[in-house]
Structure 1
């Protein structure tokens, strides 16, 4: 099973993912961004504004996640912002073809909360993260159709993770 945490930068995806791995027995974490980081070291690729613009990134994410899920078993928790609907459709279709159950969650918070969180995240406080808030708002309609939206505005990551874990794991009773 794959649990994909989507949402804008600074909403708490990585922190929530760490909590999920702690809560779900046998769960593992993978950051698809690392596939993009790897590709930025390759020469000969076309210049793009975001590594997600490379079809190669999307294909390698599907391949890597599929193989990793087969290797480690259990739940695989991913934290990655995907705001382009066509890119998400491509990734989702690839994972469906691989036969891996996919649970897609969008962590959401209101704009004022996001700004406060981003500005308060001292090591990562960057204009780049703030500049992507509008793209997130623009993507929210399709994200809401494609995923379960979890409002994190007033919830700490541990509670968000507990909610997601309860949603994806069967009740033992």
Structure 2
């Protein structure tokens, strides 16, 4: 299966992905950010370059091929902590991925005030560097667009877990319960000839 985890910066996507990988046998966490960096670097100065790599067709094609290939190679769950703000693009990605694996979409939510507090107080790699301050500023800038995306349909397209008042362990427990329920539903479908992927 492929577990896609959406949510704003600071909501706990990477933390949950790492925790799930520790609980699901054979699981791997797939980071799509290096694909975006590679595309930006490759197209730097080119007329086809775009500020947002997600709006660049090579990104989604490469991401899908990478995730499907990783799933086929490992045979275990592939966990993807990544928010795609463009809902049509995310739906297309999940649809294509569902051709090669069972896809589950988790959406982590938290009150915007809680998210801002988490972003401001979070320790980052190279905390004393200018780069850390720039990352924090960028996350705060993107917070509104992700919150708008949630209101515009992100929550409707996935299983929402509100992390505002939950400890990390509680978020993990909620995610595992949802995935177990979905797997049980899939196994029931096996009686009709469907094989879990």
The total of aligned residue pairs comes to 170
Structure exhibiting the larger radius of gyration computed from Cα positions: 2
1:74 — aligned with what? 76
1:119 aligns with 2:120: yes
Partner of 1:31 in structure 2?
Answer: 31
Deviations 1:59-94 (A, max 9, x none): 111111000000011111110011111211221121
Provide the alpha-carbon RMSD of the alignment: 1.6
Cα drift, residue 128 of structure 1: 0.8
Scaled by the length of structure 1, the TM-score of the pair is 0.91
8 Å CA contact retained: 2:40, 2:49: no
CA distance in 2, matches of 1:40, 1:162: 37
TM-score normalised by the chain length of structure 2: 0.81
Q: Structure 2 regions of 5+ residues with no counterpart?
A: 125-131, 185-197
1:155 aligns with 2:157: no
How many Å separate the matches in 2 of 1:167 and 1:86? 24
Conserved 8 A contact 1:31-1:79: yes
Please point out which of 158, 176, 179 is paired with 1:165: 176
CA contact (8 A) 2:4 2:81 kept: yes
Compute the displacement of 1:45 (Å). Answer: 6.4
Gaps of 5+ in 1: none
State the shift of 1:99 in Å: 2.9
What does residue 19 of structure 1 align with? 19
Shift of 1:115: 0.4
* Matching residue of 1:106: 107
Give 1:86's aligned residue. Answer: 88
Higher relative contact order (Cα pairs below 8 Å, separated by 6+ residues): 1
Aligned to 2:6: 6
- Equivalent-residue separation in structure 2 for 1:22 and 1:130 (angstroms): 30
